[in-house]
Amino acid sequence: MKLIQLYGDRGLKIVKGEGQYVWDINGKKYIDMHTGIGVAFLGHRNKIVVDYLRRQMDQIITLSNSFSTPIKDEMVSMVDKIKPDNMDNIILLNSGTEAVEAALKTARKITGRKKIIAFKNAFHGRTSGSLSVTWNKKYREPFEPLVSPVEFLNFNDINELSKIDEQTAAVIVEPIQGESGVIPAKQDFMRALREVTEKVGALLIVDEVQAGFGRTGKVWAYQHYGIVPDLLTAGKAIGGGFPVSALFLPDWIAGKLEEGDHGSTFGGNPLAMAAVTAACKVLYDDKVPEQAYHKGELFMKILKDKLADLKSVKEIRGKGLMIGIDSRFPPATTLKVAQDNGVLVLKAGVTVIRLLPPYVISQDDMEVAANAIREGLLKTESQRVTS
């Protein structure tokens, strides 16, 4: 029996994780800034999350949403403290792509329209609906025809927004495009987008599966822009490492959904509810967004100081602890050198080194990571000169 490997193999067998660190089978320790593509934002094996999961496993693990449980009541109360503005309703699912699917379906039902607007270089998932609003043709073309009609506009281009019309059911946008290179949306673009969608009666879906839940220095990344979306998708970090996602929605939309409009066998199971409860408790009690903001500012400064003289670095950008180093060359060598030096990072787009560290990262960790990345970039520059 072989397990199909759909992601590139990093050549490591990881056996343990704790906080911001993981260890391989040989006992080597790594600073983890990969974090399962942002999942372990609260740190590996966060004590509160582990305690909640253990307690729930001693009670009941699997239960249909048709039944209620004490953990459901506790979760609803805890999520209420960190919910997006004006969104008093939540649907729990299993993965980010499922949350996007639910959002797209909801938008079509509520508006009675079909057309979806997305943006070039966006990534929203790999199931048929979410893939239809994902830009990269490498992901999309082998599986077309997908859900349609979908139109892609240029990201951060206000002039393009005139193409959003009364036939549009929804516009879906990432406040920071993660997969394509950690590209933040511009303030005026997001505000204009909100104005246009309200004018034509289209719903604005903000996809915060990667950027949300404190990582950017706000609980939700859209809060940097002074707007409020109609629907918000969340995932990755909201379960503290447990696979769970969510769609947040306001009363006026939730009230129009009916039994059977969406569903999931495992979505909102008791373990998922326990994980979300614990993760929200950590986020709230430990002031995680504030920590992410200040640590992100510090990390950005360290990286800029360490890498300022390198010709291969075009730009260092991001918000909070979602950072991209845009290089002039593909980052494979840098990723390998960093890993050899005990630092795990990942790529985004074609040339970007993506850093998604846990909020518990220390200044010493940042210094070590910046030095390792510098060594990798220097090696890349050297290889380019000699080739």
Binding residues for substrate: 126, 264
CA distance 375 to 18: 26
Annotation: binding site: 96-97, 123, 126, 207-210, 264-265
Tell me if 221 sits within 8 A of 211, measured CB to CB.
Answer: yes
The radius of gyration of the chain from alpha carbons, rounded to an integer in Å, stands at: 21
Alpha-carbon distance values, 362 to 19, 46, 79 (Å): 11, 16, 28
Taken in order 237, 210, 40, 319, is the CA torsion positive or negative? Answer: negative
Minimal CA–CA distance to 21: which of 13, 29, 11, 9?
29
Residue 205: which residues within 8 A CB-CB, separation 6 or more? Answer: 100, 103, 104, 107, 170, 171, 172, 173, 229, 230, 231, 232, 233
Provide the greatest CA pair distance for the chain. Answer: 66
Residue 79 φ then ψ, to 5°: -65, -30
* Residue 200 burial (10 A CB sphere; 0-12, 13-18, 19+): middle
Q: Where are the alpha helices (DSSP H) in the chain?
A: 35-38, 47-57, 70-79, 96-111, 128-132, 137-140, 187-200, 251-254, 270-285, 288-307, 332-340, 363-386
Tell me if 31 sits within 8 A of 338, measured CB to CB.
Answer: no
The DSSP code sequence of 45-60 is T-HHHHHHHHHHHTT-
Annotation: binding site for pyridoxal 5'-phosphate: 96-97, 123, 207-210, 265
Minimal CA–CA distance to 359: which of 266, 291, 300, 277?
291
CA distance 371 to 46: 27
